[in-house]
Amino acid sequence: MTSPTPAGSFTAMDDAMTSDADIVAAARRFTRAWAELMMTLPEYYDCHMTCGEAEAAADLFRAVGDEESAVEIIDVHAAHDQPEDDHYDQLRHSR
């Protein structure tokens, strides 16, 4: 029997998600569920990711084998980048 977990502690979550297989399965479920929403956030919800957020999201999709969505996440994000942002030139030179 384990001792009670204090409120706000991550101990219970750490114990529940112990294997890499669990984490990979959760990442696959997340990316399948969020693939369409990731592409529509900027236009439908006026929700724009920072360059770092877009790269992190693309990395997750790429890690589960969805390269097409990873590229699209960056492209959709880059359309809203300003000249001083990381992806501004990337999108304009790729078309």
Tokens of residue 93, six digits: 């030179």
Q: Where are the alpha helices (DSSP H) in 1-95?
A: 11-16, 20-45, 51-63, 67-78, 88-94
The residue at minimum Cβ distance from Zn ion is 51
Would you tell me which residues interact with Zn ion (CB under 5 A)? 51, 81, 85-87
Nearer to Zn ion, 66 or 81 (CB): 81
CB of 44 to Zn ion, least distance (A): 19
Integer Cα distance of 45 and 36 in angstroms: 13
Nearer to Zn ion, 8 or 83 (CB): 83
Integer Cα distance of 80 and 86 in angstroms: 11
Nearer to Zn ion, 20 or 46 (CB): 46
CB of 16 to Zn ion, least distance (A): 34
